[in-house]
Amino acid sequence: MKSLLIIFTSLSLIYQYTLPTKYEKKINKEIEKIWDTSIEKEQITISENRSFNEEASLFKLKSKDSLIGFLYFNKVNACKKGGCDSNEESLFTDKYDHFYYLVLFDPNLLILKVKIIDYQSDYGYEITGSGWLKQFNKKSADMLHYGKEIDAISGATVSANSLLIDIQRIYTYLKEIHQHTFIKK
| Position 71 pLDDT exceeds 90 | yes
* Boundaries of domain holding 152: 6-180
Other beta carbons within 10 Å of 185: 7
**Of the candidates 161, 165, 104, which has an alpha carbon nearest to the alpha carbon of residue 137?**
104
Summarised one tens digit per residue, pLDDT across range 80-116 is 655 554 444 454 556 778 899 999 999 999 999 999 9
The domain tally of the chain equals: 1
List C-alpha distances in Å: 104 to 30, 60, 101, 115, 138: 9, 10, 10, 9, 10
pLDDT of 158 = 86
Spatial separation of the C-alpha atoms in residues 45 and 58, rounded to whole Å = 7
Summarised one tens digit per residue, pLDDT across range 131-169 is 999 999 999 999 988 888 888 888 888 899 999 999 999
pTM of the model: 0.81
Domain assignment present for 1: no
